[in-house]
Chain A
Amino acid sequence: MSDFKRIIAKRKRQDFVFNIVGIVCTLVGIATLGALLGDLLMDGLTRLNWTFLTSFPSRFAERAGILSSWVGTLLIMLVTAFAAVPLGVGAGIYLEEYARKNWLTNLIEINIANLAGVPSIIYGLMALGLLVYQFKLGQSVLTGGLTLAFLILPIVIVATREALRTIPQGIREAAYALGSTKWQVVRHHLLPYSLGGTMTGIIIALSRAIGETAPLITIGALTFIAFLPPLPLKTQPPFLSLEWLWSPFSVLPIQMFNWVSRPDQNFVVNAAGAGLVLIVVTLLLNAIAILIRYRVRKRIKW
């Protein structure tokens, strides 16, 4: 009988020990996140002020700022969203609702799964060879935005499909029974009901694109940009101008990379400041995405 008790005590101890190990391992990740934020805050917070946000890069660390790079990031994201959202959502709808089971659909599915695993720098090489030199788009905002759009396309497609898949079949059947065509079902029912999931995916994808550095360096994005792209609004008709698409650019992560690799400690402080802005934007986007996901999950009960 005492043997029995001893074995039970031993097994309980094993469970307890693993519980501790599990918590410690989990904390390693969380602690790193904390250390990273703390490190950036300690180094960069002093540098973060209005002048830093509204100055161009400079040879002098104290005068250098991130104006051209955050404007560049904003414009690149605009192009990326405009290209990736329609393509990704459209592809997701096609694969989930329209596609028949055949070799072509299979090919597209395998292809998307594979694209999601291609390293981002390979997209940069593709953009360099194809967009910059073959299509002669140059090292412009347009090229950068399209490169990142290609990169996040698989994420948007997968998110759209998963959101569509959660809608019960009965909803589609009810709409068909009332005489809707396929597109009416998609347009009036599936798209609105899957909006939460799709939006979450799009925001996560964009937050990933904001931090991407390697593909943009590869296409030869300049690191010293002391001017802003032309304004999209004009005083004369037609009032809108797309000239900015052809402008050279810098983005926040490239500016940070440029500063971090310099030996001068003052520039490293600038890098921390840029990194702080970058990480706050990324975490904010992720928080919004998590919030949307949480609310959608809570609200919808089929």
Chain B
Amino acid sequence: MTLPPSVTPAAKIAMDEIPVLQHPVAAAADLGMGTPSARTPSSTKRLSHVKERFIEALLFLAAFSSVAITVGIVGTLLYESSSFFTHVSLKEFLTGTLWTPLFASPRFGILPLVTGTLITTAVALAVALPIGTVVAIYLSEFAPSYVREIIKPALELLSAVPTVVYGYFALQFMSPLLQKVLPGLPTFNMLSAGVVMGIMIIPYVSSLSEDAMRAVPMSLREGAYAMGANRIITALKVVYPAALSGIVASYILAISRAIGETMIVAIAAGMQPNLTLDPREPAATITAFIVQVSLGDLPHGSIGYQSIFAAGVTLFIMTLIFNILGYILRKRFREVY
């Protein structure tokens, strides 16, 4: 069969299938349904209908497995931490200022872990949000397209580097570097962990924000230029506000990443729960605590074992709030254009 060169691959394959479709017997053989001679056209049709429904059911199950995973996560967290909360009151958990679940006289106040998490997150955001936003504006409004084509994937490599390697980098490179600027900084501190974490999440902010800004219609920019605005004024006063919900969604994704980040803080921020607001001090985050407990050999069902699930629930709820916020904002951002 000779085809004109303009025929699409789909049409070409479809044309190849014509003879098959003209002969039901061959069609049955093609569908792999036993000896063709026993099949009449109508039973072939019925069988292929059954096969179609069966495949659809399989695909549905695959899609539904994601719901099963969520049920598994929520169920496990609730089940394991419910026995924790029969030993420890919610009030002590939320307001206690000491977290020593593995000591002889254990205390279960989650606050030191929460402050550790919030301080490292705040440091990371102080690095990632300004830099990420400027990079996004630069790539979307200033950079020539060939620069963008190279820089964007290169920056995305930042989020592809394994976090344990970042932990090494924070401890062996960033800490000594910061110690030169801030004498007296301990080797393990929240500052260097937070800074490295911030650099890691730059691409989350820059890529998504850039996508949002590029989705802003060109006519808005042209309007601003016609009024005599230069590029930077257009970017800050027209494009940035127009893309705001997408940009904020990227900020929220960054926050949720920073809260859940584990290995950098486990390696470089120290593992000692410490109720402080000073980023120069070492402290444990919620995630670092879970890692620390998992490294030891805790018996299944002990209070120490249950305490990591209680910490996990806290972490899950914190990230869930931000995820839902981000989801709503992304929905809105999609509807605008």
Contact = CB atoms under 8 A, between A and B. Distances in A.
Contacts of A111: 66-67, 70
Contacts of B73: 118, 122-123, 125-126
A121 B315 contact: yes
Contacts of B21: 178-179
Contact of B287 (A12, A87, A150, A214): A214
A29 B158 contact: yes
Contact of B162 (A124, A129, A171, A282): A282
B31 to A, nearest CB: 9
Contacts of A271: 168
Nearest to A132: B300
B55 interface: yes
A82 interface: no
A119 B256 CA distance: 8
B332 interface: no
Contact of B172 (A39, A98, A189): A39
Interface stretch (B12-20, B178-186, B276-284): B12-20
B230 A126 contact: no
B135 interface: yes
14 contacts: A19-B142, A22-B143, A26-B135, A32-B158, A39-B173, A91-B62, A93-B59, A107-B67, A113-B327, A114-B324, A125-B80, A129-B80, A174-B14, A279-B165
Contacts of A204: 160
Contacts of A240: none
A188 B30 CA distance: 13
B267 A260 contact: yes
B248 interface: no
Contacts of B169: 35-36, 39-40
A119 B66 contact: no
A25 B168 contact: no
A118 B66 CA distance: 13
Interface string B184-196: 0000000000000
B262 A120 contact: yes
Contacts of B75: 130
Interface stretch (B3-11, B97-105, B106-114, B214-222): B3-11
A230 interface: no
Tell me whether chain B's interface is mostly helix, strand or loop, or mixed.
helix
Interface stretch (B34-42, B237-245, B289-297): B289-297
| Interface residue tally on B, bucketed by range | 35 or more
Nearest to A211: B162
A33 B156 CA distance: 11
A188 to B, nearest CB: 6
Contacts of B84: none
A207 B157 CA distance: 11
Given A114-B320, A278-B165, A25 B135 contact: yes
Given A117-B322, A178-B17, A180-B17, 5 more contacts: A36-B166, A40-B168, A95-B63, A121-B315, A133-B300
Nearest to B292: A217
Contact of B309 (A89, A125, A272): A125
B56 interface: yes
Contacts of B142: 15, 18-19, 22
Interface string B58-73: 1111111111011011
